[in-house]
Structure 1
Amino acid sequence: MKQIILPFILFLFIFQSGVAQASLTLTPNPVETSGVADPNDIFIEIIGYATLKNEGTETISIKWERVEVDLPQGWESLVCDLNSCYEPPVYSNIANNIGINEPVTLAPGESTNLDVHAVPKGIAGTAEIRLDVSLLSDPDNVLLSGTYTFDASLVSSSKDINKARLNVFPNPATDYVEVQAPQNISRLVIYNVIGRQMRAFNVAPGSRYYVGDLPSGLYLASLANRKGEILKTFRLSKRSMRP
Structure 2
Amino acid sequence: MNKLFTLLLLTCLMSVSYAQNKNFEAQDNPCKENFVVDPNNPTDHVCHNLIKNNTAGTLKLLWKRFDVLVPAGWEPTVCDNVNCYATFVTSCPEEYVNEILKGKTMLADMHIYDGGIPGKEAEVTLRIFEKEDTTSYINVNYLFNKESVGTKNQQRNISLRMYPNPAQNSFQVDFNTGISKIEILNVVGNKALSYKAETSKSYDISMLEDGIYFVKFITTEDKTLRTVKLIKRSIRS
Deviation at 1:122, TM superposition (A): 1.8
Contact 1:130 1:147 in 2 (8 A): yes
Contact 2:46 2:228 in 1 (8 A): no
**Cα 1:40–1:90 shift into 2, 3 Å:** same
Unaligned runs of 5+ in 2: 1-13, 147-151, 176-181, 196-200, 219-224, 231-237
Deviation at 1:57, TM superposition (A): 0.9
Residue 35 of structure 2 is aligned to residue 35 of structure 1: yes
**TM-score (normalizing by structure 1):** 0.60
- Cα distance in 2, alignment partners of residues 144 and 76 from structure 1: 23
Deviation at 1:52, TM superposition (A): 0.3
One-letter amino acid of the structure 1 residue matched with residue 25 of structure 2: T
**Cα 1:24–1:120 shift into 2, 3 Å:** same
Task: Calculate the aligned-residue CA RMSD, in Å.
Answer: 4.6
User: Paired residue for 1:102, among 81, 96, 100?
Assistant: 96
Deviation at 1:178, TM superposition (A): 6.8
Deviation at 1:183, TM superposition (A): 3.6
Deviation at 1:160, TM superposition (A): 1.9
**Cα 1:135–1:211 shift into 2, 3 Å:** same
- Cα distance in 2, alignment partners of residues 125 and 78 from structure 1: 17
Give matches, 1:168-187, under 5 Å. Answer: 181-183=172-174
Contact 1:62 1:103 in 2 (8 A): yes
- What do the CA deviations read for 1:81-132 (whole angstroms, capped 9, x no partner)? 222222211212226xxxxx31111011001221111122122211110000
Query: Which consecutive aligned stretches of 4+ in structure 1 deviate over 4 angstroms post-superposition?
Result: 152-157, 166-169, 176-180, 188-193, 195-205, 207-210, 218-224, 231-236
**Cα 1:106–1:203 shift into 2, 3 Å:** farther
- Cα distance in 1, alignment partners of residues 193 and 35 from structure 2: 28
Alignment correspondent of 1:239: none
- What do the CA deviations read for 1:150-173 (whole angstroms, capped 9, x no partner)? 11869845x5232xx46876xxxx
- Cα distance in 1, alignment partners of residues 47 and 190 from structure 2: 23
User: Paired residue for 1:131, among 115, 120, 126?
Assistant: 126
Residue 141 of structure 2 is aligned to residue 147 of structure 1: yes
Alignment correspondent of 1:90: 89
One-letter amino acid of the structure 1 residue matched with residue 172 of structure 2: A
Larger C-alpha radius of gyration, 1 or 2? Answer: 1
Deviation at 1:24, TM superposition (A): 0.4
One-letter amino acid of the structure 1 residue matched with residue 38 of structure 2: D
Contact 1:45 1:120 in 2 (8 A): yes
- Cα distance in 1, alignment partners of residues 125 and 191 from structure 2: 33
- What do the CA deviations read for 1:52-81 (whole angstroms, capped 9, x no partner)? 000011101110111101111221101112
- Cα distance in 1, alignment partners of residues 169 and 88 from structure 2: 25
Residue 79 of structure 2 is aligned to residue 76 of structure 1: no
Determine what percentage of the aligned residue pairs are the same residue.
23
One-letter amino acid of the structure 1 residue matched with residue 39 of structure 2: P
**TM-score (normalizing by structure 2):** 0.61
Contact 1:65 1:132 in 2 (8 A): yes
Secondary structure class of the residue paired with 2:125: strand
- Cα distance in 2, alignment partners of residues 48 and 196 from structure 1: 14
**Cα 1:196–1:35 shift into 2, 3 Å:** closer
- Cα distance in 2, alignment partners of residues 132 and 55 from structure 1: 17
Residue 205 of structure 2 is aligned to residue 211 of structure 1: no
One-letter amino acid of the structure 2 residue matched with residue 211 of structure 1: E
Alignment correspondent of 2:22: 22
**Cα 1:204–1:31 shift into 2, 3 Å:** closer
